[in-house]
A and B are shown apart, each in its own frame.
Chain A
């Protein structure tokens, strides 16, 4: 793992999100997201383990509608499970919050079953009118997280951060 000032980029990502106002997170467990979830919990951010990615978006929509700043962590394959909650709740109700998406089915993928949803992740978001923000390097954690939080809070839009395969996992 690459480290900045003795910390992994995952720890820095979690800390920057928490310092930026994220109060609680929801996820369906994923190996690549686990270090981020652990770092959030270590920093006293509640992490809810839910049953389906769509449920995470519903939970976050409610948390946001009640005046809070939630975070959703998901593997890109879970985006397929979430499209209706995003398209008919999060987007029309103007509920902006940050999302961290770990990529499968992309550069280096060896499982054929992962490819179609990995290949279409950005396209599905784009079709729903959602701009996504790529994170390819540990040195860009701060700028990408701050920018995504600005979009979520200020522009009230869903702000997905894509953890690209170039990152050390």
Chain B
């Protein structure tokens, strides 16, 4: 699975959800998979994407929220995984694109174990490892949220869309999507 295929599977499984993506690969993949849909793409703020998704989920309790996170991203804000375990918003799913590398900085390897699902499990969250797009689509709807899916990305392919978004445009489109009823 490459990152765009992973994002496409998440979108297919939760088409009504509000999506937040971390900087770099996750934002590029979500833009590519959704034809640049009205999602909350991050252009920076590494380590803050899951926290931001927690805020969206808090405000929009009636909507499902999916955080698409790089693995290095989640490590930088790992405390938010603990918060996910403590706050337990029933409308939030964390999806980690686990490829073991910092892609946007040139593909350097992480210095830590890929143990995101195991860590989430230890925190009392439902968690699973997905190796195929079918796994992703099934787990999105089978796991009881809040949940975490560690998506094994074994094709480290750059999605293509620019991760350098125009922040006010992103905010305006996302706020409209978040404040109107899901289709």
Contact of A58 with B167 at beta-carbon distance under 8 Å, contacts A50-B83, A65-B56, A67-B178 already known: no
Query: In the assembled complex, which residues on chain B have CB atoms less than 8 Å from the CB atom of A119?
Result: none
Contact of A62 with B52 at beta-carbon distance under 8 Å, contacts A51-B80, A92-B167, A93-B171 already known: yes
B77 partner, pick from A26, A55, A87, A92, beta carbons under 8 A? A55
Give chain B's interface residue range (CB within 8 Å of chain A).
35 or more
Query: In the assembled complex, which residues on chain B have CB atoms less than 8 Å from the CB atom of A57?
Result: 48, 51
| Min CB–CB distance A53 → chain B (angstroms) | 11
| Min CB–CB distance B74 → chain A (angstroms) | 13
B59:A68 contact, CB within 8 angstroms: yes
Question: In this assembly, does B140 line the interface, its C-beta being within 8 Å of a C-beta of chain A?
Answer: no
B58:A59 contact, CB within 8 angstroms: yes
Size of the A side of the interface (Cβ < 8 Å), in residues, is 34
Contact of A62 with B59 at beta-carbon distance under 8 Å, contacts A67-B179, A89-B42, A93-B168 already known: yes
A52 to B52, CA, bound (A): 13
A62:B80 contact, CB within 8 angstroms: no
B48 partner, pick from A23, A26, A66, A89, beta carbons under 8 A? A89
A61 to B54, CA, bound (A): 10
A49 to B44, CA, bound (A): 24
Query: In the assembled complex, which residues on chain B have CB atoms less than 8 Å from the CB atom of A62?
Result: 20, 40, 51-59
The residues of A with any CB-CB pair to B shorter than 8 Å are: 23-24, 26, 46, 48-52, 54-68, 70, 84-85, 87-89, 92-95
